[in-house]
Chains A and B, each alone.
Chain A
């Protein structure tokens, strides 16, 4: 048999590498900016586009989908071709994939600061962009699976299994979580409401971490670690077990984000049990990677790229140990809503995703450009800066999280909250927020050094666009293997079956989680006193979403005395049946707002208080880190789509009477006028129909209905 000649496409790998670097710097820079906003509100820059609530999603989307996303594609396009001994299935698809993805990122970078958002974490992009993501993702999968079918290497290395699972699961997650009803070109409402929306969202959110930040990177680790160490993975067998148990367990662990919420108990328990079990495969994977270096630790000493890999894997081990711990109810009780969670994700993001990406970039760029790294010393500098950055980031945030979490819970001997003022707990952690921003900055400086170093490397060499290679065409049957290993041959000869199998695996996981909540209607008890939002409140809610208030404020009171005393009655699922989307939030940078409308409650504030506070939070609450929202006083409520919004809500099951959309505007104006009069009577001048009126109406709606007798 004759060897066939072909070439690997390196241009596409290089393009994704450049995108990784560029978006990485952008995403990290935005991260540093929002970090400073949390101790210096002036860094909100006094305009609507750069307030924390709007650009925090920009940061998360940029680092997850732009930085890490491009890094995944870079690594996949490089390793897949080589592992399968073939060029990518189609150069055109590769190009569409690359440019499509970059366009999506640009669209995100434009829409998010404009306040065009669905508010669902890590899925903030509006429906047209969601559709674009789906299309481009399918292009990626098509290209990948096409490549698998035209491969010259019969055996599929474990990295490819991880890539396939990534493709399938992310597709499923994205589509299910993005079910939304468009109102206009750039506004939609989530198909699901309240508890169901929360359940779907955190099934998505959790598995996005699993299948976007973990599985593809494990695939990359299984390829690049052996390459850099120049020895095979420690145990290939372990990697198989690792793969199957990881994808199966992860998919069930989602509900641990909703402990103590009004999510049914059984789902919470399920989430915790599977989260704990997850430690096993995660650590198996980490050890498998680290042990690959056994007997070669001297290499690590001399090669900063391997240092990145080792610290990255260790960070993976740390965060996958911490994750299950955080899902224990008593740990969760303290850590949830605090900076602890932020620390946790950053150990993963900066350590695992960041460091692995850096290691791979340092490995790939010289190879693609057929040259040597510009400076090995700078790689080492980068490594130490990066490590220092992670420490300066994580340690203060752990302290901050524990401090605030405990302060929220402390009672005096007389039985009063020791720190009844939320703000006092915020002020306590300001120094930690400063250190954290410093940590982020150090990490960013390290990344800048890398980009300069790699840029100079590229300049010194020249890109090998098409790398010549040769391999035997795939043989039909390898006689050595015929007698044994039946299962293995069965699976690897059938990529389609394999794909189907893993697809079934993840779907079962999802189905087991949702079906009960979706099928059993009594699951969410309706509370009859809960009324749909009035048109003004609905507009107010949309402004709340636009401004991203949910990035700082929760709307979920957990059933602890420390919370019910501080905020009011704990949250019932039935309160949220009209909430498309839910707005429970995941982080309490500010206090919970879900009882802001309970007139005799602790959280109630008058309209004129809100007026002053929204205008200049720092004047009312000295030292507040909430941004000022001056434009809410200048801009008119945009009710041009009110009919559409009412109709959409009705389609989603909100019981607005027939024909209500025709008179909704009248109601809106009436209610606005009432609040306007109230404000003017208190000496707060405001023109009719200003947005602030809608926001106040909404804040006063929160929890109001539940205050009336609740029906069980």
Chain B
């Protein structure tokens, strides 16, 4: 396929850069997630439930 034209030489660099960025973000998100206090998570996850008016279901 590579004779299909237009392969930028050294383009794999882009692939690697984007992978690194992704993994970086992923790790940060994981740390962030792990560092959230339990009580806070509970509070936030209950936000949708506490906004109701009281008629019908």
Contacts and interface: CB of A to CB of B under 8 A. Distances in A.
A85 B8 contact: no
Contacts, number: 149
Interface stretch (A132-140, A367-375, A652-660): A367-375
A264 B7 contact: yes
A573 interface: yes
A480 interface: yes
A629 interface: no
Contacts of B6: 195, 262-264, 522-525, 573
B1 A559 contact: yes
A83 B48 contact: yes
A6 to B, nearest CB: 12
A245 B26 contact: yes
A425 B25 CA distance: 47
A232 B35 contact: no
Contact of B48 (A227, A273, A508, A524): A227
Contact of A487 (B17, B18, B35, B45): B35
A419 interface: no
A485 B51 contact: no
Contacts of A157: 44-45, 47-48
Main secondary structure of the interface of A (DSSP, over half): helix
B21 A370 contact: no
Main secondary structure of the interface of B (DSSP, over half): helix
Interface string A234-254: 001100110111001100100
Contacts of A158: 44
A270 B1 contact: no
A143 B32 CA distance: 29
A266 B11 contact: yes
Contacts of B53: 367, 467, 469
Contacts of B36: 237, 240, 485, 488
Interface in B28-57: 28-37, 39-49, 51-53, 55-56
Contacts of B44: 155, 157-158, 236
Contacts of A525: 5-6
Contacts of A572: 4-5
Given A248-B26, A370-B55, A525-B5, A481 B12 contact: no
Interface residues of B, number: 44
A226 interface: yes
A509 B18 CA distance: 7
A485 B37 contact: yes
A248 B22 contact: yes
Contact of A486 (B11, B35, B49): B35
Contact of B5 (A267, A481, A574): A574
Contacts of B4: 262, 265, 559, 572
B41 A237 contact: yes
A487 B32 CA distance: 6
Contacts of A524: 5-6
A644 interface: no
A249 B8 contact: no
B29 A573 contact: no
Interface in A273-290: 273-274
Given A241-B33, A262-B5, A512 B18 contact: yes
Contacts of A223: 48
Contact of A266 (B12, B19, B46): B12
B1 to A, nearest CB: 6
Contacts of B40: 155, 481, 485, 488
A241 B28 CA distance: 10
Contacts of B37: 481, 484-485
A409 interface: no
A533 to B, nearest CB: 22
Contacts of A244: 25-26, 28-29
A270 B35 contact: no
A236 B31 CA distance: 14
A266 B5 CA distance: 11
Contacts of B55: 367, 370
Interface string A464-502: 000101000000000011001111100100000000000
A670 to B, nearest CB: 35
Contacts of A269: 15
B47 A83 contact: yes
A227 B11 contact: no
Chain A to chain B: the 5 pairs with minimum beta-carbon distance, closest first = A82-B51, A244-B29, A266-B11, A236-B45, A232-B45
10 contacts: A155-B47, A158-B44, A227-B52, A241-B26, A264-B6, A274-B22, A366-B56, A480-B39, A512-B17, A516-B11
